[in-house]
A and B are shown apart, each in its own frame.
Chain A
Amino acid sequence: MTDEEPKRTLVISTIENGTVIDHITAGEALTVLRILGITGTTHECVSVATNVASLALVRKDVVKIENRELKAKEVDRIALVAPHATINIIRKFRVIEKKGVEIPPVLIGVLKCPNPCCITNTNEPIQSRFEMHRKKAVCSYCDAVISSDISSHII
C-alpha cells in the first residue's frame, strides 16, 4: 500500500474509433440515443456520462459510440434537444473531424404531429414530415405548427 493519491481518471474512457457527442444539454443524453436509434437491442458499444462538469455549460452529458461514425443527417436532429452539442469523429484515438449541430430544414420521421386528425397519426405507411420555419416546425401534411418545446414531440 502506498500513500499516493488515486489517479484522477476520466468518467468514461477514450475510444479508438467512433463518435463522441460532447456538450449535450445535461439530462438529454438518453434522448440523443433515442434520436439516433440506439436502443438496448442494437450492437454499438456506447458510453454515456450525464451531469459531467463543464466549463461552457456548467453541467453537460457526453455520449461515446464506438466503431460508428455518425453522418451529418443523423446528428443534425440532435440539435432539437442539444443545440450546443459538438460531434467529434475519432480515428485511432485522434479527433479527425469536429463540428456543431444544426436543425435540418426538413425532419422526416423525427416528430409526432400534435394534431390527432393528421393523416400521419393513422396506420398509413408514411413517416411524419416537418419543415422548419424560423424555429417553428410545420407539418407538411396538415400544416400543424409546433412553436415551442419541439423536443417533447420527438417520436
Chain B
Amino acid sequence: MSGIEVNEYVTEDQPLTSMHHIISIHDLDRSQIDLILERAGQIMTEYAGKEPLKGKILGLLFFEPSTRTRMSFESAMLRLGGSCMNLGGVEVSSMAKGETLADTIRVVSGYADAIVLRHPRMGAARLASEFSSVPIINGGDGAGQHPSQTLIDLYTIRQSMPLDHINIGLIGDLMYGRTTHSLAYALTHYHATIHTIAPKGLGLPDSIRDNLLERGAEVIEHDSIEEIIHDLDVLYVTRLQRERFPDPAKFYDVSSSYRITPSLLSDVKDHLAILHPLPRVDEIDPMVDALPYARYFDQARNGVPVRMAMLTEVMI
C-alpha cells in the first residue's frame, strides 16, 4: 500500500524513501481503509505458522491508562513474532522530569522499529510523526484521533454486511465521543446514512456535522431511538458520562431513555449489528448480550487482527 501518512526524507544510500504512519482516520482514503480491512480478514491464515515481524521491536508509549488498546497491540505484535517494549509508568519516565514528547520520541525511535503512542494531548501523534525516525501508530491522543478503534468498528460491521449505503444509528454522548466522530467520518467513504440520537446538549458538534454534510453524508437527528431502530443496520452505542450532567437525577432520567433493552429490539432488522467501543456501564442491558445483534465482544476481539494488519502495514 502506498502511503498512509507519508514523511519523505533523504538518506545517503537512497535518494528518496518513505515511511508510513497511521495518525488519523482522516488521512486514509477508501482504498487504504479497504486494504487494511481485507488484510485483517486474512491475516490469521496468511501468517499462520510464520513470524513476519520476528526480530522487530514495537515500542508502546502509553502516557495514559489503557487496557484494551495496549494489550491488543501487544498481542498483535507477539502473534506476528515480534516483541514489545513498554514505557513503564509515566511517573518514572523522563516525562516526569520535564522532557518534551519530541525528545522522548527522538530517543525511543532509536530503540524500536515502530511506536504506538497514547497521549493525553490532542495532536500528540502528529507531533510524534514529525520527530520519529520509525513509523508512529496513534493509539489515541486525548479527545482526538484513535484510528485503530475506527478500523476495528468498520471491520466488525463488515463481518455482518457490506459497508456501502448502511443506515447507522449513533446513540449516546455524541458531543464528546471521539469514536462516533471518526466512525461517521470514515463511513462517508461508503455513503452511509447517519442517524443521531443524543440528549440535549450532547449532540454532534456543529463542526463535525458540517464536515459530514460537506462530504456528502446524510445526517438525520432523532428525538428517540424508538422512532428509527427498525430501519437501522448498525446501532453504535456510546456511554453517557455522569459528569456531563450537573444534576444526578437528570442523568438517571436521561440514561434510562437511552438504554438498549431486549424489548427495544423486538422488531428490528435480522442483520442489525450493535456495537460499543467498551467499557459499557448501564447503556446496554446485559440481557442483550445473548441476542444475535450483540457484536461488541466480537468488536473487542477484532482488535487483534486489525492491529496485526496495521503493524504489518507500517513495518513490512
Chain B residues within an 8 Å CB radius of A115: 122
Contact among B24, B102, B122, B143 with A126 in the assembled complex (CB-CB below 8 Å) = B102
Interface assignment of A125: CB less than 8 Å from any CB of chain B: yes
Interface centre among B101, B119, B126, B141 (most CB of A within 10 A): B126
Interface assignment of A72: CB less than 8 Å from any CB of chain B: no
User: Is A119 a contact partner of B126 (Cβ separation < 8 A)?
Assistant: yes
Contact A118-B123, Cβ < 8 Å, known A124-B100, A124-B102, A143-B144:
yes
How many A-B residue contacts, CB cutoff 8 Å?
A: 49
Chain A residues within an 8 Å CB radius of B207: 145, 147
User: Is A117 a contact partner of B100 (Cβ separation < 8 A)?
Assistant: no
Interface residues on A, range: 10 to 19
Chain A residues within an 8 Å CB radius of B24: 143
- Chain A 101-155 residues near chain B, CB threshold 8 A: 115, 117-120, 122-126, 139-145, 147
- Chain B 70-122 residues near chain A, CB threshold 8 A: 100-102, 119-122
User: Is B122 a contact partner of A124 (Cβ separation < 8 A)?
Assistant: no
Bound CA–CA A143/B127 (angstroms): 13
Interface assignment of B262: CB less than 8 Å from any CB of chain A: no
Interface assignment of B124: CB less than 8 Å from any CB of chain A: yes
Kindly provide the distance from the CB of A140 to the nearest chain B CB, expressed in whole angstroms: 7
User: Is B122 a contact partner of A117 (Cβ separation < 8 A)?
Assistant: yes
Bound CA–CA A145/B119 (angstroms): 21
Kindly provide the distance from the CB of A153 to the nearest chain B CB, expressed in whole angstroms: 15
Chain A residues within an 8 Å CB radius of B102: 124-126
User: Is B142 a contact partner of A141 (Cβ separation < 8 A)?
Assistant: no
User: Is A119 a contact partner of B100 (Cβ separation < 8 A)?
Assistant: no
Bound CA–CA A139/B126 (angstroms): 11
User: Is B121 a contact partner of A118 (Cβ separation < 8 A)?
Assistant: yes
Kindly provide the distance from the CB of B261 to the nearest chain A CB, expressed in whole angstroms: 35
Chain A residues within an 8 Å CB radius of B122: 115, 117-119, 141-144
Contact A120-B123, Cβ < 8 Å, known A143-B144, A145-B207:
yes
Contact A125-B100, Cβ < 8 Å, known A117-B143, A142-B144, A145-B207:
yes
Chain A residues within an 8 Å CB radius of B26: 143
Chain A residues within an 8 Å CB radius of B124: 119
Interface assignment of B130: CB less than 8 Å from any CB of chain A: yes
Contact among A119, A140, A145, A147 with B121 in the assembled complex (CB-CB below 8 Å) = A119
Bound CA–CA A110/B14 (angstroms): 35
Chain A residues within an 8 Å CB radius of B123: 118-120, 139-142
Kindly provide the distance from the CB of B213 to the nearest chain A CB, expressed in whole angstroms: 12
Contact A126-B144, Cβ < 8 Å, known A117-B121, A142-B122, A147-B207:
no
Chain A residues within an 8 Å CB radius of B100: 122-125
User: Is B130 a contact partner of A126 (Cβ separation < 8 A)?
Assistant: yes
User: Is A140 a contact partner of B101 (Cβ separation < 8 A)?
Assistant: no
- Chain B 19-35 residues near chain A, CB threshold 8 A: 24, 26
Kindly provide the distance from the CB of A135 to the nearest chain B CB, expressed in whole angstroms: 12
Bound CA–CA A145/B141 (angstroms): 17
Chain B residues within an 8 Å CB radius of A122: 100, 121
Given contacts A124-B102, A141-B126, 6 further A-B contacts (CB under 8 A): A119-B101, A119-B119, A119-B126, A126-B102, A139-B123, A143-B26
5 smallest A-B Cβ distances: which pairs? A141-B123, A142-B122, A119-B123, A142-B123, A119-B121
Spell out A's residues near B (CB within 8 Å). 115, 117-120, 122-126, 139-145, 147
